[in-house]
Amino acid sequence: MKRFSILVWIGLFLSCSLWIGCGASGPTDAEKEKAAAEKAAAELLKVEKGRAEALKAAVKGYETWGQHPKFKGIQKSTDGTHGAYVQVWMNDKAAAVMGKFSGTFPDGSIFVKRGYDDKEGKKPKDFITLMQKIKDYDKPNGGWFTLRIWDNDKNPLSGWAPDKKSGCIGCHSSAKEKYDYIRYLRDLKITF
Protein backbone atom coordinates (compact mmCIF):
# COMPACT_ATOMS: atom_id res chain seq x y z
CA MET A 1 0.00 0.00 0.00
CA LYS A 2 2.78 2.34 0.97
CA ARG A 3 4.67 1.54 -2.17
CA PHE A 4 1.53 2.20 -4.21
CA SER A 5 1.05 5.68 -2.78
CA ILE A 6 4.69 6.57 -3.43
CA LEU A 7 4.20 5.58 -7.04
CA VAL A 8 1.06 7.65 -7.24
CA TRP A 9 2.91 10.66 -5.82
CA ILE A 10 5.78 10.23 -8.27
CA GLY A 11 3.29 9.93 -11.11
CA LEU A 12 1.43 13.02 -10.02
CA PHE A 13 4.66 14.97 -9.65
CA LEU A 14 5.82 13.98 -13.12
CA SER A 15 2.57 14.84 -14.87
CA CYS A 16 2.31 18.17 -13.07
CA SER A 17 5.84 19.20 -13.95
CA LEU A 18 5.23 18.14 -17.54
CA TRP A 19 2.03 20.15 -17.64
CA ILE A 20 3.65 23.21 -16.08
CA GLY A 21 6.66 22.84 -18.34
CA CYS A 22 4.60 22.78 -21.51
CA GLY A 23 2.13 25.39 -20.33
CA ALA A 24 4.83 27.85 -19.43
CA SER A 25 6.83 27.82 -22.65
CA GLY A 26 4.02 27.35 -25.27
CA PRO A 27 4.76 27.22 -28.99
CA THR A 28 7.71 29.32 -30.10
CA ASP A 29 7.38 31.97 -32.79
CA ALA A 30 9.03 29.65 -35.26
CA GLU A 31 6.55 26.92 -34.42
CA LYS A 32 3.66 29.34 -34.80
CA GLU A 33 4.98 30.49 -38.16
CA LYS A 34 5.37 26.91 -39.32
CA ALA A 35 1.83 26.03 -38.26
CA ALA A 36 0.47 29.13 -40.03
CA ALA A 37 2.39 28.29 -43.20
CA GLU A 38 1.10 24.72 -43.12
CA LYS A 39 -2.45 25.95 -42.68
CA ALA A 40 -2.10 28.42 -45.57
CA ALA A 41 -0.64 25.69 -47.80
CA ALA A 42 -3.51 23.33 -46.94
CA GLU A 43 -6.04 26.07 -47.74
CA LEU A 44 -4.36 26.89 -51.04
CA LEU A 45 -4.37 23.22 -51.95
CA LYS A 46 -8.08 23.11 -51.27
CA VAL A 47 -8.65 26.08 -53.58
CA GLU A 48 -6.52 24.46 -56.29
CA LYS A 49 -8.37 21.17 -55.95
CA GLY A 50 -11.59 23.11 -56.39
CA ARG A 51 -10.19 24.62 -59.60
CA ALA A 52 -9.22 21.18 -60.87
CA GLU A 53 -12.67 19.75 -60.17
CA ALA A 54 -14.39 22.78 -61.72
CA LEU A 55 -12.26 22.53 -64.85
CA LYS A 56 -13.04 18.83 -65.14
CA ALA A 57 -16.75 19.68 -65.07
CA ALA A 58 -16.33 22.62 -67.49
CA VAL A 59 -14.78 20.56 -70.26
CA LYS A 60 -17.52 17.96 -70.58
CA GLY A 61 -18.31 17.69 -74.29
CA TYR A 62 -15.04 19.34 -75.38
CA GLU A 63 -15.04 17.13 -78.51
CA THR A 64 -17.64 19.47 -79.99
CA TRP A 65 -15.56 22.61 -79.33
CA GLY A 66 -13.85 24.64 -82.00
CA GLN A 67 -10.42 24.00 -83.49
CA HIS A 68 -7.96 26.23 -85.25
CA PRO A 69 -8.52 25.95 -89.03
CA LYS A 70 -4.76 25.42 -89.41
CA PHE A 71 -4.63 22.74 -86.69
CA LYS A 72 -7.88 20.90 -87.23
CA GLY A 73 -8.60 17.21 -86.67
CA ILE A 74 -5.78 14.81 -85.90
CA GLN A 75 -2.37 16.35 -86.46
CA LYS A 76 1.17 15.10 -86.13
CA SER A 77 2.57 16.14 -82.75
CA THR A 78 5.60 18.36 -83.00
CA ASP A 79 7.41 16.52 -80.19
CA GLY A 80 5.31 13.47 -79.28
CA THR A 81 5.18 14.30 -75.56
CA HIS A 82 1.61 13.05 -75.23
CA GLY A 83 1.30 10.86 -78.29
CA ALA A 84 2.68 10.84 -81.83
CA TYR A 85 -0.58 12.43 -83.04
CA VAL A 86 -2.74 14.99 -81.32
CA GLN A 87 -5.95 16.91 -81.54
CA VAL A 88 -6.48 20.30 -79.89
CA TRP A 89 -9.79 21.98 -79.08
CA MET A 90 -10.53 25.39 -77.56
CA ASN A 91 -13.56 26.85 -75.83
CA ASP A 92 -15.52 29.86 -77.07
CA LYS A 93 -13.57 32.35 -74.93
CA ALA A 94 -10.31 31.41 -76.64
CA ALA A 95 -11.94 31.16 -80.08
CA ALA A 96 -13.46 34.63 -79.63
CA VAL A 97 -10.09 36.33 -80.10
CA MET A 98 -9.19 34.48 -83.29
CA GLY A 99 -8.11 36.97 -85.90
CA LYS A 100 -7.53 39.67 -83.27
CA PHE A 101 -5.16 37.88 -80.90
CA SER A 102 -3.00 40.45 -79.11
CA GLY A 103 -0.48 38.13 -77.43
CA THR A 104 -2.52 36.98 -74.43
CA PHE A 105 -5.61 34.83 -74.25
CA PRO A 106 -8.59 36.18 -72.27
CA ASP A 107 -9.57 35.06 -68.79
CA GLY A 108 -11.46 31.75 -68.97
CA SER A 109 -9.81 30.50 -72.18
CA ILE A 110 -9.42 26.71 -72.22
CA PHE A 111 -7.34 24.49 -74.50
CA VAL A 112 -7.72 20.70 -74.50
CA LYS A 113 -5.37 18.20 -76.11
CA ARG A 114 -5.86 14.49 -76.77
CA GLY A 115 -2.94 12.36 -77.94
CA TYR A 116 -3.12 9.26 -80.17
CA ASP A 117 -0.68 6.55 -81.16
CA ASP A 118 -2.04 6.45 -84.72
CA LYS A 119 -2.99 8.90 -87.41
CA GLU A 120 -6.56 7.61 -87.63
CA GLY A 121 -7.21 8.20 -83.95
CA LYS A 122 -8.16 4.59 -83.24
CA LYS A 123 -5.63 4.36 -80.44
CA PRO A 124 -6.26 7.36 -78.23
CA LYS A 125 -4.21 7.98 -75.11
CA ASP A 126 -6.27 7.43 -71.97
CA PHE A 127 -6.07 11.03 -70.77
CA ILE A 128 -6.46 14.61 -71.92
CA THR A 129 -4.28 17.55 -70.94
CA LEU A 130 -5.70 21.00 -70.36
CA MET A 131 -4.72 24.62 -69.90
CA GLN A 132 -7.09 27.19 -68.46
CA LYS A 133 -6.39 30.90 -68.27
CA ILE A 134 -7.35 32.34 -64.88
CA LYS A 135 -7.14 36.06 -64.13
CA ASP A 136 -4.46 36.88 -61.53
CA TYR A 137 -3.52 33.21 -61.19
CA ASP A 138 0.20 32.26 -61.10
CA LYS A 139 1.24 35.43 -62.91
CA PRO A 140 4.91 34.44 -63.44
CA ASN A 141 3.61 31.53 -65.54
CA GLY A 142 1.15 33.50 -67.61
CA GLY A 143 -1.92 32.69 -65.52
CA TRP A 144 -2.33 29.16 -66.92
CA PHE A 145 -3.79 26.45 -64.71
CA THR A 146 -2.67 23.05 -66.02
CA LEU A 147 -4.38 19.70 -65.57
CA ARG A 148 -4.40 16.11 -66.78
CA ILE A 149 -7.71 14.22 -66.66
CA TRP A 150 -7.70 10.45 -67.01
CA ASP A 151 -10.48 8.61 -68.84
CA ASN A 152 -12.99 7.01 -66.48
CA ASP A 153 -11.12 8.48 -63.50
CA LYS A 154 -8.51 5.78 -63.98
CA ASN A 155 -5.96 7.80 -62.01
CA PRO A 156 -6.40 10.87 -59.84
CA LEU A 157 -6.25 14.28 -61.53
CA SER A 158 -2.61 15.25 -62.09
CA GLY A 159 -0.51 18.00 -63.63
CA TRP A 160 -2.08 20.55 -61.25
CA ALA A 161 -0.80 22.32 -58.14
CA PRO A 162 0.63 19.48 -56.02
CA ASP A 163 2.21 18.02 -59.13
CA LYS A 164 3.71 21.15 -60.68
CA LYS A 165 7.00 19.33 -61.09
CA SER A 166 5.41 17.38 -63.94
CA GLY A 167 6.76 20.27 -65.97
CA CYS A 168 3.74 21.30 -68.02
CA ILE A 169 4.53 24.99 -67.85
CA GLY A 170 8.29 24.44 -68.01
CA CYS A 171 8.00 22.93 -71.47
CA HIS A 172 5.25 25.30 -72.59
CA SER A 173 7.26 28.36 -71.60
CA SER A 174 9.24 28.01 -74.83
CA ALA A 175 6.07 29.48 -76.39
CA LYS A 176 5.77 32.22 -73.77
CA GLU A 177 6.67 35.09 -76.07
CA LYS A 178 4.15 35.99 -78.75
CA TYR A 179 2.05 32.80 -78.36
CA ASP A 180 1.09 32.96 -74.67
CA TYR A 181 2.46 29.45 -73.92
CA ILE A 182 0.39 27.76 -76.63
CA ARG A 183 2.84 25.36 -78.21
CA TYR A 184 1.16 24.37 -81.46
CA LEU A 185 0.96 28.02 -82.48
CA ARG A 186 4.63 28.58 -81.75
CA ASP A 187 5.92 25.27 -83.12
CA LEU A 188 4.13 25.63 -86.45
CA LYS A 189 4.24 29.44 -86.58
CA ILE A 190 0.46 29.61 -86.83
CA THR A 191 -1.11 33.03 -86.42
CA PHE A 192 -4.13 33.17 -84.20
The residue ranges that bind ligand HEC (CB under 6 A) are 77-79, 81, 86, 88, 111-113, 129-131, 146-148, 159, 166-168, 171-172, 182-184, 187
Residue among 10 and 188 whose Cβ is closer to ligand HEC: 188
Residue among 91 and 129 whose Cβ is closer to ligand HEC: 129
Residue among 52 and 88 whose Cβ is closer to ligand HEC: 88
**Shortest distance (Å) from residue 136 CB to ligand HEC:** 20
Residue among 27 and 167 whose Cβ is closer to ligand HEC: 167
Q: How far is CA 155 from CA 47, 87, 93, 129, 158, in A?
A: 20, 22, 29, 13, 8
Residue among 1 and 62 whose Cβ is closer to ligand HEC: 62
Q: Calculate the CA dihedral of residues 166, 171, 95, 149 and round it to 10 degrees.
A: -20
**Shortest distance (Å) from residue 20 CB to ligand HEC:** 53
**Shortest distance (Å) from residue 112 CB to ligand HEC:** 6
**Shortest distance (Å) from residue 110 CB to ligand HEC:** 8
**Shortest distance (Å) from residue 150 CB to ligand HEC:** 11
